[in-house]
Amino acid sequence: MTFQVELVSPEGIAYSGEAEMVIARTVGGGEIAFQPGHVPFIGVLAVWSVDVVHPDGGRDTLAVHRGFVQVAGTKVSILSDVSEASGEIDVDRARAAREVAEAALAADRDDAAAAEALARAEVRLTVAGADS
Amino acid sequence: MAGGRERVLRRRITSVQKTKKITRAMELIAATRVMKAQQRARASAPYSRQITQVIENLAAAGTEVDHPLLREAEKVERVGVVLITSDRGLAGPYNSAIIRAAERQVQNARAEGADYSLIIIGKKGRDYFRFRNYRIDSFTEGISDNPTYEDAKAVADTVADLFESGEIDRVELVYTEFISIGSQKVVVRRFLPLESTEVMAEEGHGEAGAVASFEFEPSPEAVLEALLPRYVEARLFGALLESAASEHASRQRAMKAATDNAEEMIVKLSREMNQARQDAITTEIMEIVGGAEALGSDDDTTDTPVPVGSRD
């Protein structure tokens, strides 16, 4: 059994596909995996990646920096205004962003904006598979 | 003199023809941009629909929160007016209609004894209000032509900040609704404070009929709190996209009218020019005939040809 996954951004539907399982991470709730038949669910997503597992075992990883997930019936919608599929990520830019954020954090440990930027950069690098 | 008039007309026709080429080009460009803007508006629809759907589900669960964006002021001391105009002109009545509606909002606020605060998108709106010495609190340019979500977010954040800090107590959004290519309408919508979730849900497309018993994580209140700012951004983004489509449609129409007028003018001027030329020729012939006759009737047969048109 599969269900339909859609990544909906304000500019359009950024990704859509069939999936057997979707793994996401919600704010305060940790990782959560959805399979067809899941209870209707709405959650706030953490700055993290969303894994879409296809019926054939393949996997798409999306970097979702902010958003919501809604599971209803046979459909999973991920609402996000800042998100990327792994192929769209500019690794060099993310690395540069990480360095800038790390420098800012070193200077001021309470810099919330820098901490967020760092988290985003790390997710991007993880999703792009270019971490370290 | 007669030949001079012909030349003046010919020059005017050339100039009108050049203008026509420009307006025609602008018309075609605007036409393709309308299509693009419409496409983008359509592409953004699923997102706002989904957000509304989540709000519907929250409303069905009876979630209410005490969020600053929902704060209804007891006494409205300052009304924010957000207006979306274009950066460039030549779009017919597009900008003036928006400006008029926005100015009326400002006057209404004053009539209620409240102050106003202008948040302007687009150069045309700024030019008008600056010239009339209105105080402009925020101005953004370069986004109305082809708005991105980032742009909408930046403006929405500014407005939300002003509202949350209590600087302004109510926000009206003035923009142009795109109904179809032939029809756009200036609308004034309440932007902030947001209505309660039930009203928001009702205003939405309401297609889902709210599936019951959702699980919310971390909690319904937390979801709603995270969602409200996104809802505000999405609404402004929608308004920007509709305005962009309307702007291009208005420009297309204005430029079509200009092209038609130029065509009409060319026909009229050409007629006038032909007549002037005809008159000049007639006069010339008359002069030649007159001159020949004056030379005497004795040697009519040895007429030397007088070159026509050598006298100017």
Q: Does B217 touch chain A (CB under 8 A)?
A: yes
Comparison of pLDDT for A28 and A98, the residue scoring more: A98
Q: Cβ separation of A41 and B217 shorter than 8 Å?
A: yes
b/e burial code for range A117-130 (CB count within 10 A of at least 16 → b):
bbbbbbbbbbbbee
> For residue B241, what are its two tokens?
């996209």
For range A42-46, the mean pLDDT: 89
- Contact residues, chain A, for B233 at CB < 8 Å: 10, 81
pLDDT band for position B225 (cuts 50, 70, 90): confident
Query: CATH number of B29-210+220-258: 3.40.50.360, 3.30.230.10, 3.40.1380.10, 2.70.170.10?
Result: 3.40.1380.10
Q: Which CATH class is domain A3-86?
A: mainly beta
Give residues with Cβ within 8 angstroms of B93, minimum separation 6.
Answer: B250
Q: Cβ separation of A8 and B47 shorter than 8 Å?
A: yes
Neighbours of B158 (CB within 10 A): 16
For range B202-217, the mean pLDDT: 62
Task: For an interface test with B, give the residue of A7, A41, A79, A80 to mutate (most B CBs within 10 A).
Answer: A79
Q: Cβ separation of B149 and A73 shorter than 8 Å?
A: no
Q: Cβ separation of B149 and A40 shorter than 8 Å?
A: no
Q: Cβ separation of A44 and B223 shorter than 8 Å?
A: yes
- Contact residues, chain A, for B54 at CB < 8 Å: 42, 68, 70, 79
Residue A132: the pLDDT is: 45
Report whether A102 contacts A132 (CB < 8 A). no
Report whether A19 contacts A12 (CB < 8 A). no
How near does any CA of chain A get to the CA of B175, in Å?
A: 19
Report whether A23 contacts A53 (CB < 8 A). yes
Pairing of strands B115-121, B78-84: parallel
CA distance B238 to A129: 35
Report whether A28 contacts A11 (CB < 8 A). no
Q: Which of the residue ranges A7-16, B161-170, B265-274 has the most confident prediction, judged by mean pLDDT?
A: B265-274
3-state secondary structure at position B137: strand
3-state secondary structure at position A60: strand
- pLDDT exceeds cutoff 90 at A62: no
How near does any CA of chain B get to the CA of A102, in Å?
A: 24
Q: Does B235 touch chain A (CB under 8 A)?
A: no
How near does any CA of chain A get to the CA of B32, in Å?
A: 19
Task: Report the predicted TM-score, pTM, of the whole model to 2 decimal places.
Answer: 0.82
**ipTM for the complex?**
0.79
Report whether B241 contacts B40 (CB < 8 A). yes
Give residues with Cβ within 8 angstroms of B47, minimum separation 6.
Answer: A8, A9, A10, A79, A81, B234
How far is CA B78 from each of CA A45, B50, B116, B133, rounded to the nearest angstrom?
Answer: 36, 33, 5, 18
User: For B26-81, how does the pLDDT look when each residue is reduced to its tens digit (9 = 90+)?
Assistant: 999 999 999 999 999 999 989 988 888 888 888 877 777 778 888 888 888 899 99
Lowest pLDDT segment from A40-49, B30-39, B67-76, B236-245 = B67-76
Of all residues in chain A, the percent with pLDDT exceeding 90 is 2
Q: Cβ separation of A40 and B50 shorter than 8 Å?
A: no
User: For B291-301, how does the pLDDT look when each residue is reduced to its tens digit (9 = 90+)?
Assistant: 999 987 655 55
CA distance B217 to B226: 11
Residues B295, B301, B307, CA angle at the centre, nearest 5°?
65
Residues B19, B144, A85, CA angle at the centre, nearest 5°?
125
Residue B87: the pLDDT is: 93
Q: Mean pLDDT of all residues in chain A?
A: 82
For range A102-124, the mean pLDDT: 78
For range A105-129, the mean pLDDT: 77
For range B223-247, the mean pLDDT: 91
Where are the domains positioned within chain A? Answer: 3-86, 89-128
Q: At what angle do helices B123-131 and B94-111 cross, to 10 degrees?
A: 50
- Contact residues, chain A, for B51 at CB < 8 Å: 79
Give the DSSP H or E segment for A48. strand A48-53
> For residue A52, what are its two tokens?
């879409």
Q: Does B57 touch chain A (CB under 8 A)?
A: yes
- pLDDT exceeds cutoff 60 at B302: no
Q: Cβ separation of A28 and B44 shorter than 8 Å?
A: no
Q: Which of B40, B153, B211 has the CB atom closest to A72's CB atom?
A: B211
- Contact residues, chain A, for B212 at CB < 8 Å: 40
Which chain A residue lies closest to B55 (C-alpha atoms)? Answer: A42
Lowest pLDDT segment from A98-107, B103-112, B229-238 = A98-107
